[in-house]
Amino acid sequence: MRKGKRIHSFILYSILFALFMGLGLPTVVQASESNAKKGTAQNPYIITTDITYPPFEFQNDKKEYVGIDADIINAIAKDQGFEIEFRPLNFSAGLQALEANQVDGMISAMSINPEREESFDFSDPYYEAGTVMAISENNKEIQSYDDLNGKTVAVKVGTTGATFVEKLQEKYSIKVNQFEDSATMYQDVVSGHSDAVFDDYPVMAYAIQQGLKLQLPLEPEKGDVYGFAVNKGQNAELLDMFNTGLANIKEDGTYDNIIDQYLDSDEKGSQNGFFALIQKNWRELLNGLSKTLLLTVISFAIALLFGVVLGFFAASPYAILRGISRLYVTIMRGLPMLVLAFFIYFSIPELLNIKLTAFIAGVATLTLSSAAYISEQVRGGIEAVSGGQLEAARSLGMSYGKSMVRVVIPQAIKIMIPSLINQFVITLKDTSILSIIGIVELTQAGKIIIARTYSSGSMWIIIGLIYILIITFLTWLSTFIERKMINA
């Protein structure tokens, strides 16, 4: 029994040491980064933007961040002699990243208003744009705001368009569908799920110019002004350089060239077919798939080790170890993964004053969540082995530890294999949630392509087929391994 206690104590102290090292690592990274002057190639300003919002920000087929916002801040950085690095996040996640000091600034067609000025410091306005309503090109019913009564409207979370619709709801009975990106919001109207959509005029006009089947029955509302934002009381030097650079690029004509490039073109875009999308974007999809597989393999490998330890805790004769396992499983199974991802990526850095990369936060999210389910699968596998097996081994003079390792665990592994393969599949699919913190895995790669091409129907079919092929292979692998284990 003493040997069994030593084994459990060793495992417990190992976990505590690993957690200590895991918490300490980001702090060391933060300290080393702070030694380099901010705005240099070694320590660039981190700028967040929503890259699914053309013509202001999107990623082209060369994987370059382009658009009015991206080109303006790149021109300002060149004029003022500082370096930047883009960290793509959707609009609402970008605001949280800025508040948590995960990024230094945000340029994402953000309107300057009193509410936001309470939390952020804004630059001089760099663009003015008004909200406009769009409907399907075949819609003849809606020609005014009065016609929206009893209708469904699509808006993007946290935008001026969403605020404008809230005001319309005071007068009309309007149902609202909320979205995180413009391309999906527009498709909701084209497919007939929503009757109208509200967004900034330049964005809507650009989408229609690219071939999206929408029309604008009304003139745009009076415009809001956009500003570059930093966290309240932070990065004053960056804000000053932005204002100075903005004045310079307006004076030398660079600013007008950028605007004309995206808004004054008469060139019409074309909708891409199924095979054309694959041909043009297969490298991007392959990169997204490789990131998905990398996240899955790393996260599952760590979760497997952690989950096995917790599973042994759950099956242990010691109440304190069972309690630790039960508490962890209860917490992790009760937390939606989206909430867990936000907590790790935004809340922990803010509370501990550290910085985490999106990849590390993503791995941590998948690991912590998967470990809880793996521990239950391990516990179930151990308990599925007849209790007489353990008693028989102990009666032969084996210790508890030897009895588990030599008798119970080999039988439990055969029982657990199908469940573990299934958990691997679930972890792979869960990577799609991590796009919310800016990881460009397979699903996010699809969103970026859709934002550029407005071909959501075909692209989601392609993404779905890729997932189906991978999961079909894993299902076959599970069956193959299970047969081998049974026949061994």
Q: Is the pLDDT of residue 165 over 50?
A: yes
Contact 154, 185 (CB under 8 A): yes
What per-residue confidence (pLDDT) applies to 80? 97
Bigger pLDDT: 457 vs 299: 299
CA-CA distance, 353 to 100, in Å (whole number)?
Answer: 9
The letter for the amino acid at 191 is S
CA-CA distance, 227 to 107, in Å (whole number)?
Answer: 7
What per-residue confidence (pLDDT) applies to 25? 40
- Which residue in 52, 13, 43 sits closest to 445, CA to CA? 52
Domains, the chain, with CATH or none: 2-29+274-487 (1.10.3720.10), 37-126+227-263 (3.40.190.10), 131-222 (3.40.190.10)
Q: Is the pLDDT of residue 127 over 80?
A: yes
What confidence category does residue 272 fall into, taking pLDDT thresholds of 50, 70 and 90? low
At 368-384, the pLDDT tens digits run 999 999 999 998 888 88
What confidence category does residue 20 fall into, taking pLDDT thresholds of 50, 70 and 90? very low
What confidence category does residue 16 fall into, taking pLDDT thresholds of 50, 70 and 90? very low
What per-residue confidence (pLDDT) applies to 483? 77
At 439-456, the pLDDT tens digits run 989 999 998 888 888 787
Lowest-confidence segment of 32-36, 46-50, 191-195 by average pLDDT: 32-36
Percentage of the chain exceeding pLDDT 70:
88
- Which range of 143-152, 404-413, 416-425 scores highest in mean pLDDT? It is 143-152
C-alpha 113: how far from chain center: 27
The phi and psi torsions of 178 (rounded to 5 degrees) equal -105, 140
What confidence category does residue 385 fall into, taking pLDDT thresholds of 50, 70 and 90? confident
Bigger pLDDT: 63 vs 225: 225
Q: Is the pLDDT of residue 431 over 60?
A: yes
What per-residue confidence (pLDDT) applies to 215? 94
Q: Rounded mean pLDDT of the chain?
A: 86
- Averaged over 424-452, what is the pLDDT? 90
- 């809880």: which residue's tokens? 372
DSSP class of residue 51 equals T
Q: Is the pLDDT of residue 8 over 50?
A: no
- How far separated are the first and last CA of the chain, in Å rounded? 32
This model's pTM is above 0.85: no
What confidence category does residue 484 fall into, taking pLDDT thresholds of 50, 70 and 90? confident
CA-CA distance, 291 to 302, in Å (whole number)?
Answer: 17
Give CA separation, 293 vs 5, 277, 289, 390, in Å.
38, 22, 6, 38
Pairing relation of β-strands 84-88 and 224-226? unpaired
At 67-109, the pLDDT tens digits run 999 999 999 999 999 999 999 998 888 999 999 898 999 999 9
- Which residue in 243, 230, 236 sits closest to 119, CA to CA? 230
